[in-house]
Amino acid sequence: MDRFQRFPISTLALVLVGATAWAGAIPKAGTLAELQEGLRHSIQHSRDTSAIWGVEIVSALNGRLLFETNAAQRFIPASNTKLFTAALALDRLGTGHQVTTSVTITDPPDGHGVVEGDLVVRGGGDPSFSGSWHGDKWESAFDPLVVLVTRAGIRKIRGNVVVDDGRFRGPAHGRGWDEDDTHFAYGAAVSALTVGDNVLEASLTPGLHPGDPTTLRWTPVDDFQVPLARTTLGFDSVNLVATAPTNQPLRVEVQWRKSGRAVALKGSLPVGRKPYTLELPIPNPAEAFGAYLVEALARKNVMVDGGIRRMASPDLQIRTNRILLGSVASPPLADWIRPTLKNSQNLYAQLLLQTVGAEEEARPTWTDGQTTTADSGLRLLPLLLDKIGATTNTASLEEGSGLSRQNWVTPHAIVQLLSWTARQPYAATWMDSLAIGGVDGTLRNRLVHPNVRGRVRAKTGSLTGVAALAGYVTNRSGQGAVFSIVVNHWMHESAAECRSEIDQLVEQVADFQGPLD
């Protein structure tokens, strides 16, 4: 394939918003040569002289190279990785693809609605069993599963609720994730049974006077009525956060114990401060899903006498000839892509990758049963690279979110991907899924000047020492450009300054009124 390929500017119509003159402080370039010199000057005068910049900018109309530096060099892309994950999922599965969560029982209910055996719920990787998908009402997410049970006339389960997350094989976290990542919400464990984005919310409220203990509330655990659900889902927590005088700073520290379920909260909250909220990752997503389901069933007067058991438990004996009560379909794939890219949701990115892998493993021609499901998805990356016109040595991924520092991609490959996706049948979904500068997602507080706001759609990326931005920008004359900017080895203390310097490059292109084609 040619290095650059032409694609119609109409494909980028979604980014041509508010294309009026940018009146920022950056000197305007009258010619392409002046624009190139301005971009080069900005990079050379970066606050961090140790940083390595990789940049490529091309015309959206015909792929004309407008500017590049180190574009063929390999960089850690951070969350720009998600661009490849999302494109792989869209290419292999399509925007309408859905997965299912099924419910079976081991014994039919008797005349009183009692099931002597177990209820089994098998996950497909659906991310939508969460209040964030249902107006902050987690109960609504579980209503379809509860309906499957009550419609069968079931009123009591004598056995267990068995949670089957076996569709995805392999570790619960992406390869290359640091252990510290797994202690934060952005590093939540991945499971074919995902619930509440696999995090719990802890809210701390200060007392009335300095020295008073603070009040700790877990959401939604503290609202659960079933003891089994509470103990399965909740953390073993110790709250040592004290109330401090009003002139003291807020300070909250989370200390994890080896079990992964025990945490100690330490620090102080000043008097009169609003409740402080933090999210902690759930260490056992499948069992947590079972806890939500047990609570949801109880609220509809369906009781569970047994426990919550994971299918992988070595001592669990369960019948194979189960009775299917029904299945619940996930939202279409297009609805997953949007929060994955726009909000840079790591969990959803990994779910997308594992879903691609699981679907590949389901093909009759599949023979390798030893690899992880994520790796089954990553094996398809070379096929995607071939489609976009990139060689296999321009991108290598360890996982799908960008948390791994073992991922590497060239800026040129990112531009090739962005140019290619803008020509695909799902281009509208793709564009709508990217954050809009100064408007929403991870760019809501960036590129905010009124005359540039809304004229950039892009994907951010951030790790310690790493920053990236890649997407589409419209200049003052209404012409589009495709760009990739990746910075590695940023050693200056302020990551915000690095992002500001990246934004300055994009603003220079937005401010340019000359031809880009």
User: For residue range 369-422, what is the model confidence (pLDDT) as tens digits?
Assistant: 678 999 999 999 999 999 999 999 999 999 999 999 999 999 999 999 999 999
- pLDDT, residue 445, reads 97
Structure pTM? Answer: 0.92
- Give per-residue burial for 133-166: e unless 16+ CB within 10 Å, then b: beeeebbebbeebbebbbebebbbbebbbbbbbe
Confidence of residue 451 (pLDDT cuts 50, 70, 90): confident
Sign of CA dihedral 343, 344, 350, 356: positive
Express each pLDDT in 19-43 by its tens digit.
333 334 556 888 999 999 999 999 9
Identify the CA nearest to 255 among candidates 233, 238, 276.
238
DSSP 304: E
pLDDT for position 71: 98
Confidence class of residue 262 from pLDDT cuts 50, 70 and 90? confident
Return the SS3 of 294. helix
CB 288 within 8 A of CB 275: no
With contact defined as beta carbons under 8 Å apart, do 352 and 85 qualify? yes
Measured between alpha carbons, how far is 303 from 224 in angstroms, rounded to an integer? Answer: 14
**Among residues 285, 321, 295, which one has the least CA distance to residue 146?**
295
375 three-class SS: helix
Nearest to 159 by CA among 105, 122, 226: 105
Given a cut of 60, whether residue 10 has pLDDT beyond it is: no
pLDDT above 60: residue 9? no
CA distances (Å), origin 80, targets 76, 88, 145, 409: 9, 13, 35, 9
The residue-averaged pLDDT of 286-315 equals 94
Classify strands 161-164 and 323-329 as parallel, antiparallel or unpaired.
Answer: unpaired
pLDDT at residue 443, rounded to an integer: 98
* For residues 201-205, average pLDDT: 96
pLDDT above 70 for 426: yes
Q: In sequence order, what are the beta bridge partners of 253?
A: 266
pLDDT at residue 18 is higher than 50: no
pLDDT given at position 6: 32
Nearest Cα to Cα of residue 349 among 68, 22, 41, 86: 86
In the prediction, which pLDDT does 365 show?
79
What is the reported pLDDT for 27?
A: 66
Given the DSSP bridges, would you call strands 323-329 and 199-205 parallel, antiparallel or unpaired? unpaired
Pick the more confident residue, 315 or 121.
121
Is the pLDDT at 309 greater than 70? The verdict is yes
DSSP states along 143-166: HHHHHHHHHTT--EESS-EEEE-T
* Share above pLDDT 90 across residues of the chain, in percent, rounded to a whole number: 85
Checking if the pLDDT of 143 tops 80, the result is: yes
pLDDT in tens, 334-381: 999 999 999 999 999 999 999 999 999 998 877 776 789 999 999 999
**447 Ramachandran zone, left/alpha/beta (phi>0; psi -120 to 50):** left
CA 244 to chain centre: 36
- Sort 494 into a burial class: Cβ within 10 Å, 0-12 / 13-18 / 19+: exposed
CB 395 within 8 A of CB 409: yes
State the pLDDT confidence band at 314, using cuts at 50, 70 and 90: confident
> Comparing 69-78, 243-252, 425-434, which segment has the lowest mean pLDDT?
243-252
CA dihedral sign of residues 276, 277, 280, 284: positive
Q: Rounded to 5 degrees, what angle do the CA atoms 30, 515, 511 make?
A: 50
- Give the tens place of pLDDT for each residue, 157-196: 999 999 999 999 999 999 999 988 999 999 999 999 999 9
Report the pLDDT averaged over residues 504-517. 91
Model confidence at 96, pLDDT cuts 50, 70, 90, reads: very high
Percent residues over pLDDT 70 in the chain: 94
State the Cα–Cα distance between residues 270 and 57, nearest whole angstrom.
Answer: 48
Cβ-contact 402, 78 below 8 angstroms:
yes
CA 317, 319, 323 angle in degrees (round to 5)? 145
Tell me the pLDDT band of 224, cut-offs 50, 70 and 90: very high
Q: DSSP letter at 329?
A: E
Write down all domains in the chain, each with its CATH number in brackets.
9-95+334-511 (3.40.710.10), 100-329 (no CATH)
For residues 469 and 487, give the distance between their C-alpha atoms in angstroms, rounded to a whole number: 9
CA atoms 167, 173, 174, 175: torsion sign: negative
